[in-house]
Amino acid sequence: MTAQSGLGFSGIVAIQIPIGGATGTVLTKLSAANYDYDWQPGGGGGGAPTDAEYVVLSLNGTLTDERVLVGGAGLTLTDGGAGGNVTLDVGANADGSIIINADDIQIGVLATDAQHGNRGNGTLHTPFTAVLDGFAPASGGGTANFLRADGTWAVPPGGGGGAPTNAEYVVLSLDGTLTDERVLVGGAGLTLTDGGPNGNATLDVVANADGSIVVNANDIQVGVLANDAQHGNLGGGSLHALAIASGAAGFLSGADKQTIDDLPANPVDESRNLTAGAGLTGGGDLSADRTFDVGANADGSIVVNADDIQVGVISDAQHGNLSGGALHALAVASGAAGFISGADQQKLDDLPDWYVDYGETNGSFTTTAAGFVTAETLNFVTPAAGTYRIMWYYETKNDTLNGVTRTRVQLNAADQAFADIPIPLTVTVDVPCSGYREIALGAGAQTLTIDCFPLVGTTAEVRRRRLGVIRVA
């Protein structure tokens, strides 16, 4: 329904309220027109939805899916009114069998046999026997009967309703009616105290005044022995076995006492440790003998023997400069041993595999007639057939005529070669005459003759400086 406009004063518009609005509906503007109003359900616009599943205390005409909260079986509902609480309480029966507390419930006192199950006659409980706990059985024989340990009732042996007179009762004094009673008395070390009718008869252990026994509420114990006799042989202690090392405790022997007296005033604490330092293994506390061992590295450069150590096999790095040998001094000729130099090694490599060195005959000249020098004969044994080099070095002087000095080599008196060396007209200084010849020789003994003489002239002086034979091939 659309509202109709009416005449109004300046600035004021009058509207007509539509009819038919139900409880809970609201007047709502339906369009931009100033006078378009109508009633709408309360859930429209900015209100809560009308079709939600609300829990309410009573139905509402505007809502379509609400539920009414009520108290179910065993519960009561209390409405505290607008702004108050809605409270659900557990209902306790008036018989007191249930107790409702603030935050829980509990069993109260069962009010009927039915609540117990069969509490009245107890058939749900098993009677006791000699070996099982349970309910007492029905008496089955009157009030005079007594219940036996096996769960059965029996008639007293004395007959009638009283106690038997012939039972072996323990009593505090004799009774003329009883025939087999025994009187309870305190025996040795005990006292009996009678507490009177309905009281206790108490037996106590009596402790001697010397304090050697202490009587407690529920037991007794040894106090302090008052004399040697109580101990047995307390003075000398011969009734005690000696203590056993790491075993049973006992008396200390006189010998062990002497050992203790001989100990130093400040013995070493066994908990002290002997610690192996660098290069050592072993050690430990002082509770036993300890051994230290020198540790040999796995590289084998040190060998540890039972009583000493020694160098094993070292590496180049451990030697320092083992490969090049720069840390070693060179050998000295006819002197200290040492490393060989590279130059000397080359000389050794250049040496022939066989040679004979005859050196020099003497240090002076020999005067000879012109054209003659006494032959030098060399005897040697060649190791194998091959090429051999005969080398010589002579000096001549005082050849008075211009000529030459010739060296002749003869093998087994046969000329092999000549070496001529020109000499000035007058020679007063040493003039070398040297040379070599290579000849083929077989294996075995050899004889070699060498002559050195002036070819012309009258006299000459000659001396040998060097002579040798080597194999070259």
Query: Which tens digit of pLDDT belongs to each residue from 328-382?
Result: 778 888 888 888 888 888 887 777 777 777 666 554 445 454 444 555 677 888 8
DSSP H or E stretch at residue 260: helix 254-262
| Contact between residue 405 and residue 371 where contact means Cβ atoms under 8 Å apart | no
Average pLDDT over residues 45-71: 80
Ranges 31-45, 111-125, 203-217, most confident: 203-217
Asked if residue 47 has pLDDT above 50, the reply is yes
Mean pLDDT calculated for residue range 88-117: 78
pLDDT of amino acid 429: 46
Cβ pair 399, 405 in contact under 8 A? yes
**Looking at the domain covering 353-471, what would its CATH class be?**
mainly beta
CA dist 178 and 167 (Å) reads: 8
CB 118 within 8 A of CB 124: yes
pLDDT digits (tens, 9 = 90+) for 235-254: 555 667 788 888 888 888 88
The amino acid present at 408, given as its one-letter code, is R
Pair of tokens at residue 215? 């009587």
* Residue 451 pLDDT grade (very low, low, confident, very high; cuts 50, 70, 90): low
Range of weakest confidence among 362-376, 424-438, 443-457: 362-376
Among residues 17, 18, 39, 16, the alpha carbon closest in space to that of 27 is found at 39
Whether residue 28 is predicted with pLDDT greater than 80 in this model: the reply is no
Phi–psi pair at 254, nearest 5 degrees: -65, -40
- Start and end residues for every CATH 2.60.120.40 domain found in the chain: 353-471
Q: State both tokens at 191.
A: 């006292």
Name the more confident of 166 and 143.
Answer: 166
Which contiguous run of DSSP H or E holds residue 302? strand 302-304
Instruction: Say what the pLDDT of residue 425 is.
Output: 39
Highest mean pLDDT among 121-130, 207-216, 355-364: 207-216
- Secondary structure string (H, E, C) spanning 394-456: EEEECCCCCEEEEEEEEECCEEEEEEEEEECCCCCCCEEEEEEEEEEECCEEEEEEEEEEECC
| 392 pLDDT tier (thresholds 50, 70, 90) | confident
Strands 444-454 and 366-369 come out as unpaired
Higher-scoring residue by pLDDT: 404, 276: 276
Is the model more confident about 137 or about 382?
Answer: 382
Q: What is the mean pLDDT of the chain?
A: 74
pLDDT of the residue at 421:
43
- Residue with the larger pLDDT of the pair 94 and 142: 94
* Mean pLDDT score, 75-87: 84
Give the separation between CA 293 and CA 307, rounded to whole angstroms: 10
Structure confidence at residue 118 as a pLDDT band (50, 70, 90): low
> Given a cut of 60, is residue 404 above it in pLDDT?
no
pLDDT of 188: 87
More confident call, 156 vs 377: 377
Question: Is the Cα torsion angle 160, 165, 171, 173 positive or negative in sign?
Answer: positive
CA distance 144 to 355: 150
| Residue partners of 250: CB distance under 8 A and separation at least 6 | 240, 241, 242, 243, 244
Q: What average pLDDT score do residues 297-319 get?
A: 87
pLDDT at 143: 63
Percent of the chain at pLDDT > 90 equals 4
Amino acid at 261: D
**H or E segment at 203?**
strand 201-205
Bridge partners of 434? 393
pLDDT for res 240: 74
pLDDT confidence of residue 237: 57
CA angle, residues 451, 457, 463, in degrees to nearest 5: 40
Instruction: Give Cα 42 distance to the centre of its chain.
Output: 79
Query: Which residues make Cβ contacts (< 8 Å) with residue 294, sequence separation at least 6?
Result: 279, 280, 302, 304, 309
Instruction: Decide which of 432 and 129 is more confident.
Output: 129
Q: Rounded to an integer, what distance in angstroms lies between the CA atom of residue 155 and that of residue 419?
A: 168
The residue whose two tokens read 């070292």 is: 314
Answer yes or no: are the C-beta atoms of 164 and 156 closer than 8 Å.
Answer: yes
Q: Which two tokens stand for residue 60?
A: 């509402």
φ, ψ of residue 451 to 5 degrees: the values are -115, 140
pLDDT the model gives residue 15: 61
Alpha-carbon span 275 to 272, nearest angstrom: 10
Answer yes or no: are the C-beta atoms of 50 and 43 closer than 8 Å: yes
> Has residue 285 got a pLDDT over 80?
yes
Cβ 202 vs Cβ 185: under 8 Å? no
More confident residue, 37 or 306: 306
Burial annotation 396-409 (CB, 10 A radius, 16+ → b, else e): bbbbebebbbbbbb
Q: How confident is the model at residue 298 (pLDDT cuts 50, 70, 90)?
A: very high
Q: Are 296 and 304 in contact (CB under 8 A)?
A: yes
Q: What is the pLDDT of residue 424?
A: 42
CB burial string 286-325: b at 16+ within 10 A, e below: eeeeeeeeeebeeeeebeeeeeeeeeeeeeeeeeeeeeee
Per-residue confidence (pLDDT) for residue 310, from 0 to 100: 92
Under DSSP, the state recorded for 241 is P
